[in-house]
Every structure is written in C-alpha cells, then in structure tokens.
Structure 1
Amino acid sequence: MELLSYLINGISLGSVYAIIALGYTMVYGIAKMLNFAHGDVIMVGSYIVFIAVNQVGLPPVVAILLSMALCTVLGLAIERFAYKPLRGASSLAVLITAIGVSYLLQNLALLIWGSDPKNFTSVVDIPALDLHLAGGKIVVSSETVVTIVTAAIIMVALSFFVNHTKLGHAMLAVSEDKGAAQLMGVNVNSTIALTFAIGSALAAVAGVLLCSAYPSLTPTTGAMPGIKAFTAAVFGGIGSIPGAMLGGVLLGIIEIMSKAYVSTQLADAIVFAVLIVVLLVRPTGLLGKPMNEKV
C-alpha cells in the first residue's frame, strides 16, 4: 500500500512536470529555441493567483483564468521583445537571452512582492478520494486527483489541437521547415507567437497546481521545477508532445521513489543520472525522432 501511495504521488508530481514540459517541447519543436524563462512564468502566474484570491477576493476559477490570460500576454511580450529580434541569431545568443529574461523576471518579482515566502492556499476545493483495496485504504488528496486529471485533459486537448486543426498543422509545418512553410502561406511569426502563448498559459496552470501541492511561494519558485521539466522534455524526447507527458510522469515517479527509498538529498542527483543513462542509450529521448540533417 505504501508503494502504491508513493506511485500515485509520483504521477501527480510528474503530471505537473509534464504540463511545464509541454511548454518547453512546443517552443523547441517549433521555434528551435530553449525558453529558460518558462519556469519563471510559472512563478508569475502563481503570484497572480495568490494576489487575486487572497487580496482582491476573486473566486479561484476566475483567478486562474486571469492568471492564464496575463501569463499569455507575458509570454507574447517575451517572444516579441526578447526572442523575435534574435530569430536569425546563433543558438548561443538565444540561450544567453533566455537566461537573462529568467533573472529579470525573478528580480522584478523580488522587487514587487519581496523575498518573504507567501503561504499559497490551495484553490482545489473537492473531497479527497478514498481508495479501498485488498491491503487497506489509501487517501488520495484532492490536489493529486485534480493534477492528474488536468494533465490528462491538457495532453488530449493539445494533441487534438496540433493534429486536427489548421493552426496545429501550421505549427507542424513550421517545425519541419520554416522556409517551406512560409512559401506555402504560413505566417511563421504568428505561429511561433501562438506557441509561446499556449506554453505560457499552461505555465500558469502548472504554477497553480504546483503551489497547491507545495504551498510556499517565492520569486525562485519556478526555477527548479522549470529545470526538471526541461529535463523531462529531453527525457521523453524534446519536440514530442507525448514524450513530454511520458518524461514528466516518469521523472516524477523516479523523484518520489528516490526520496522514499534512497535519500531525499540524493533524489535530484538520481533524476539527472537517469537522464544521462537514457540519453546515452537513446540520444533523442524515449519518444524522440532522429533528426536527419541534409547536406
């Protein structure tokens, strides 16, 4: 029963990583850039919900929708002013800019909200789930249930959007060949901006779920989950939406199991060690496709 409880908690944590990883994998798959400021958008979204609920008094659902809207605007602004001017620049220049945007958001949050941790009150208001099994009873928290269900819904909706809508097909075309897509009438700039908008909206949802489970909110809240989610995206195969989901869930399970059966101090090291082993065996990740470079 204890093992099953840890497994459920791992899937819950991994679902949060998966939602964050979807933002990384979409931006990389389409724009071929690593948006390391993505984790800090999570932090901003969490602060917006915290203020909207605790200081303004908005209902949680309205606060979450507001957070998604403002994070979408933030994501579009980051893409427009930080990344779009570097569209033809080297990957190193884009990477340095992404790190700079990350530190900018952290320091702005520090100036606006201070360094004191905020006690994030869970916005999930449903009863816990009791699982009665042969070996006993497991109580699954409401946050865990909502996190797993939300991740599954987002995964299905995003897959449908990419594979069965005109805008989704435009994303796939841009991810394959920007030049050819532009010749076929696809607006590459708008498509990349849309990708950032979707990823940032998902970051707001992930921030709410993360802080509901781990209710301490600081300007660096999104830093480590962002890095782990990027690891999950690479683990599953960056550029692959199902890969991001699989990588996130597996990463969460590995982390929780490592904390439970090995050491809480070594859990992160074990996670990254597993990533290294997987990449040595499959350099493109679990579901990643090998890229053939034409010369």
Structure 2
Amino acid sequence: MDSSIFLQQMVNGFSLGSMYALIAIGYTMVYGVLRLINFAHGDIMMVGAYVGLFAMTSLHLPFVFAIVFSVTIAIILGISIDRVAYKPLRKAPRISLLITAIGVSFLLENLFNVIFGGTPRPFLVPEFLEKVINFGEISITLTTIIVPILTLVLLLFVLFILYKTKYGMAIRALAFDIGAVHLMGIDANLIIAIVFALGSSLAAIAGIFWAVSYPSVEPLMGVLIGLKAFAAAVLGGIGSVGGAVIGGFIIGFTEIVVVAFFPDMAGFKDAFAFVFLIFVLLFKPTGILGINYERSRF
C-alpha cells in the first residue's frame, strides 16, 4: 500500500471516528450522572437522521436549519424519555433502568419501522457537501473535513459547559453525590434534563452527518452504530468525555484499517472493533482515561 492510499484511509478513519465520538459523549455523560447505560441513545441518533431528512424533503428547510430542527426534536425526545421512562425509576435497582432503556430502544425502532417501513430510504445530501477537495493524490469530500472539525468544536463546547458554567458544576456535583445535591437545593431533575439534552443533540448531529456520509436511513441504523459508540465510551473510559472522543477515534480507525490492510476480512470489520476493545480492557479495565469515581467525574 502506497503512502497516498494510507493517508486517504487515515482521513476516512478520522471522519468515521468523529461520528462515533459524538454519540459516545452522550453515553458517557448519562452514565456519569445516573450510572445508566442508555441503550436508546443510538436510536435517538436514528431519529435525528429521519427528522433531518423530513425537514429537508417535506418542510424544504436548508441543510443548516434542518440540523437545528433535528437537534430540537432530539432534545425534546431525550428529555421526554428521561421524564417518562427513567425518572420514575430513579430509586429502583439499576437492572430495572437497564431493562427500561432496552425497552425504549425497541419502542423507537419498531415505531419508526411501522411509520416509515423497514426499507432504507435515500438521504438528500446537499451538493456543497459532496464537493471533492484534492490534496495532492488525496481526494476527500467536504463532509470528511467538516465532521472532525465539528466534533472538536462540540467537544470544547461540552467541556466549557462542564468546567466553566454553574450548570456544569451542578452536573459534576450530581454525578459525584446526588444526595448532597438535593440537600443544597439544586433541582436534580433539571440538571439531568440538561445532560440528556446535550447528549441527544450530539447524537442528532452525528445521525445527520452519518446519513450524509452513507446516504440512507433506516429504523435499525442506530443499533450497531450505538453499540460501537458505547464500546468507544468504554474503551476511552466510561464517565470521561475526553476518553469517549479518544475511544471513538480508535474504533473508527480500527474499522478503516481492517478494510484497507486486510480487504479479505472486510466482512469482519465490526467484530474487530469489539475484539480490540476486549484486549484493551483485559489490561486496563477502566479504559484509557478511566477515572477514580470516588474522587472525580468527567
């Protein structure tokens, strides 16, 4: 393999990893606050992609406004899921929350399957995102450039909220000791809603750009993508926002490298990501940036 093909694959892996990273941040934030693996998170990504398609085809909104509309719906959906499905079970055993999260996931998948059918639908990709830019022998689309940049900007935005705002301080306090937060007069449900809003908005953005990169949407598209993003969050260190981003990049690069260097094993690219995760966790069970939950969060 010559250097140009290698660099081309590295760029593709960086873009793919960025989308995993956006979804993984939502997983790690919800887990950091509630100790809940929100298995419906991948399906929120799917909803974001469908809403974006609806906004462009039926409402005839420009791409940027379609993203805003999709993010708004995803935020409402994420907060509603928490209030309806998770809030009544705050004091229930963790297994009850986990089963509820799986149930919500199945509900969203089957609901969209009934409404839109199980056949993949083509996604309307704006022409400017299909523009090809050449750097020597490397050819990349504008989407491949935008996604990593957008991921880094959103990561900085999330870190700014967590460490530079009073709501971020409340989120970190809630993750550390929810009982103490109640005693201090902080509305814990409001803070949890903010966490779900942040995670859901990032998932919706990732869903739209995933549909742009692989131009089709279907009700089950969030299942495998969500599992990989969860694997990325665990790999990077569940509960660490920076770790979720690093894990997303690693999973994305692993997929691309397997296809590039071992084309005969391309059908096993999904398995390689999880095998890699297993080997990492065998030597560092807390993940790459695993943290001491008795001392800190995020």
TM-score range, shorter chain: over 0.9
Superposition pairs of residues 128-207 of structure 1, within 5 angstroms = 128-132=132-136, 137-207=137-207
Task: Give % identity.
Answer: 44
- Residue 39 of structure 1 corresponds to 42
4+ runs deviating over 4 angstroms: none
| Aligned residue among 2, 7, 19 for 2:10 | 7
Matched residues in 1 for 2:176 and 2:134: separation?
A: 46
Letter in 2 for 1:253: F
Any unmatched runs of 5+ in structure 2? none
The alpha carbon displacement at 1:270 in A equals: 1.3
Matched residues in 2 for 1:241 and 1:123: separation?
A: 31
The alpha carbon displacement at 1:174 in A equals: 0.6
Superposition pairs of residues 36-185 of structure 1, within 5 angstroms = 36-123=39-126, 125-126=128-129, 127-132=131-136, 137-185=137-185
Matched residues in 2 for 1:156 and 1:125: separation?
A: 26
TM-score of the two chains, using structure 1 as the length reference: 0.95
Q: What is the Cα-based RMSD across aligned positions, in Å?
A: 1.3
Matched residues in 2 for 1:290 and 1:97: separation?
A: 28
Matched residues in 2 for 1:195 and 1:94: separation?
A: 17
Letter in 1 for 2:10: L
Contact 1:124–1:143 at 8 Å: present in 2 too? no
Any unmatched runs of 5+ in structure 1? none
Matched residues in 2 for 1:239 and 1:72: separation?
A: 21
| Aligned residue among 29, 32, 44 for 1:29 | 32
Contact 1:124–1:212 at 8 Å: present in 2 too? no
TM-score of the two chains, using structure 2 as the length reference: 0.94
Matched residues in 2 for 1:181 and 1:128: separation?
A: 51
The alpha carbon displacement at 1:124 in A equals: 6.7
CA offsets per residue over residues 109-139 of structure 1, 9 Å max, x none? 011111221101224725433213xxxx211
- Residue 279 of structure 1 corresponds to 281
CA offsets per residue over residues 247-285 of structure 1, 9 Å max, x none? 001110011101222211121121111111111111110
Matched residues in 1 for 2:78 and 2:29: separation?
A: 13
The alpha carbon displacement at 1:225 in A equals: 0.6
Superposition pairs of residues 234-245 of structure 1, within 5 angstroms = 234-245=234-245
Q: Secondary structure at the match of 1:130?
A: strand
The alpha carbon displacement at 1:56 in A equals: 2.2
The alignment of Structure 1 onto Structure 2 pairs a total of residues equal to 289
| 52-61 or 210-219: bigger deviation | 52-61
Q: Secondary structure at the match of 1:265?
A: helix
Matched residues in 1 for 2:225 and 2:100: separation?
A: 20
- Residue 221 of structure 1 corresponds to 221
